[in-house]
Amino acid sequence: MIDIKLIRENKELVKENIRKKFQEEKLPLVDEIYDLDCEYREKKQKMDEARAEKNKLSDQIGSLMRAGKKEEAMTIKEEVSKMGKEIDELTAREEELSGIIKQKMMTIPNIIADDVPIGRDDTENVELKRFGEAVVPPYEIPYHADILERFNALDKEASGRTSGNGFYYLIGDAARLSSAMLSYARDFMINKGFTYCIPPFMIRSDVVTGVMSFAEMDAMMYKIEGEDLYLIGTSEHSMIGKFKDQILKKEELPITMTSYSPCFRKEVGAHGIEERGIYRVHQFEKQEMIVLCEPEDSEEWYEKMWQYTVELFRSLDIPVRQLECCSGDLADLKYKSCDVEAWSPRQQKYFEVGSCSNLTDAQARRLGIRVKSEKGNYYLHTLNNTVLASTRALIALLENNYQEDGSVKIPKVLQPYMGGLERIVPKK
């Protein structure tokens, strides 16, 4: 959520930002909010003046009663009573306006960075840099579901019976490999100085609307029937939510945390849940990182964070690239975002394995997360980044470490987490 001062002082800036995101249907909202805010401030000023006058008159009543001027005191008392009703009406309207303004403000997108490329959707994202040589071996790389089936490692038929499409059973060495990658990612981030955390896997609606837009919420979140609880789509939600309505001390910043969680996603409007594979599913596991920092430090942290993901994937012998998200591909709360994509030798193209985002103070405003200062409290900046998402990272590892004999080589950094195992071999 942006600062309403931007609409008060520079409506055209806000409108131009909306145009850059190709959300022209939201343009009338800016003028609506401006007019509502004018009325809100007018009502607030009248209410403050009325309260001050009421207090002044109330003080006179006691003095008049003590002076024996009862009739004059009663006249003023009647006037104070009328003013009380007027104040109640002004207060009710002020609260009503405040709620309407907040609701509309929640749909206005965050101001994007000046260097964000302008484009309508993810097809116009811009490649910035590649890391590692994208190799295509002289032998065929099977589809990842076929590799897993040769290890007796994937059962989607059984998961279809228990849970439906979009779920899976991961079994044996492949399941162990998936857990090994998550454990390695956890330790990798701890060694970078991040504090490890296992957060709640369900959060309340006021946290959900604090960390994401309504459109994202509808497309992603599973609601627990009969309760004000949602299953998290990523641990960033509950990790940022941990600081809701808190006033932090400057010396506590930056707060750097890495968290493990299962993730649950409806994937509404996505490119389709996979019938056979595990690329797009309703459930997976993830190691995440978040940072809460001073506003002037957030761009530096953004650069550090996506580079951590690149470093991790390169240590797994997986070539990757950084792809900058264009304006139309940015979620409403994001100031800037980039994807880290892994090389697929089977498809001979890259696919997304992680996303890094700087949200400036958008989430902090929604959640009321501030920093205490001698000059007054202010909103901090929040950032998040995928360290490793289990299913997509497993696909990238299987393809890039697949051997001609059908085995999969285990990167050296993962071997200690696999009991020293150097490769996994097909069962059939």
Is 112 a domain residue?
A: no
Q: Are residues 259 and 189 in the same domain?
A: yes
Please say which residue of 44, 72, 105 terminates a domain: 105
Show the domain range for 18: 4-105
Is 152 a domain residue?
A: yes
Total number of domains constituting the chain: 2
Q: Are residues 96 and 144 in the same domain?
A: no
Please state whether the peptide bond connecting residue 254 to the residue before it is cis, i.e. omega within 30 degrees of 0.
Answer: yes
Q: Are residues 206 and 247 in the same domain?
A: yes
Is 75 a domain residue?
A: yes
Q: Are residues 181 and 100 in the same domain?
A: no
Is 117 a domain residue?
A: no
Check residue 272 and give its pLDDT: 62
Is 116 a domain residue?
A: no
pTM of the model: 0.90
Check residue 213 and give its pLDDT: 82
Which residue, chain included where needed, has tokens 């006249």? 75
Check residue 80 and give its pLDDT: 75
The CATH number that applies at residue 381 is: 3.30.930.10
Please say which residue of 105, 131, 151 terminates a domain: 105
> 138-145: long-range contacts (C-beta < 8 A, 24 or more apart)?
139/404, 141/345, 141/346, 141/399, 141/402, 142/346, 142/402, 143/276, 143/277, 143/346, 144/277, 144/278, 144/279, 144/346, 144/394, 144/395, 144/398, 144/399, 145/276, 145/277, 145/278
The CATH number that applies at residue 52 is: 1.10.287.40
Check residue 268 and give its pLDDT: 61
How far does Cα 406 stand from its chain's mean position? 39
Is 290 a domain residue?
A: yes
Q: Are residues 132 and 260 in the same domain?
A: yes
Check residue 271 and give its pLDDT: 58
Q: Are residues 172 and 82 in the same domain?
A: no
Q: Are residues 86 and 144 in the same domain?
A: no
Q: Are residues 290 and 336 in the same domain?
A: yes
Q: Are residues 344 and 420 in the same domain?
A: yes
Is 90 a domain residue?
A: yes
> pLDDT tens digits for the chain (428 residues)?
899 999 999 999 999 999 999 999 999 999 999 999 999 999 988 888 888 887 777 777 767 777 777 777 777 777 777 777 888 888 889 999 999 999 999 999 999 999 999 999 999 999 999 999 999 999 999 999 999 999 999 999 999 999 999 999 999 999 999 999 999 999 999 999 999 999 999 999 999 999 988 778 888 899 999 999 999 999 999 999 999 999 999 999 999 999 999 999 997 655 567 778 999 999 999 999 999 999 999 999 999 999 999 999 999 999 999 999 999 999 999 999 999 999 999 999 999 999 999 999 999 999 999 999 888 899 999 999 999 999 999 999 999 999 999 999 999 999 999 999 999 999 87
Is 88 a domain residue?
A: yes
Q: Are residues 318 and 409 in the same domain?
A: yes
Q: Are residues 180 and 136 in the same domain?
A: yes
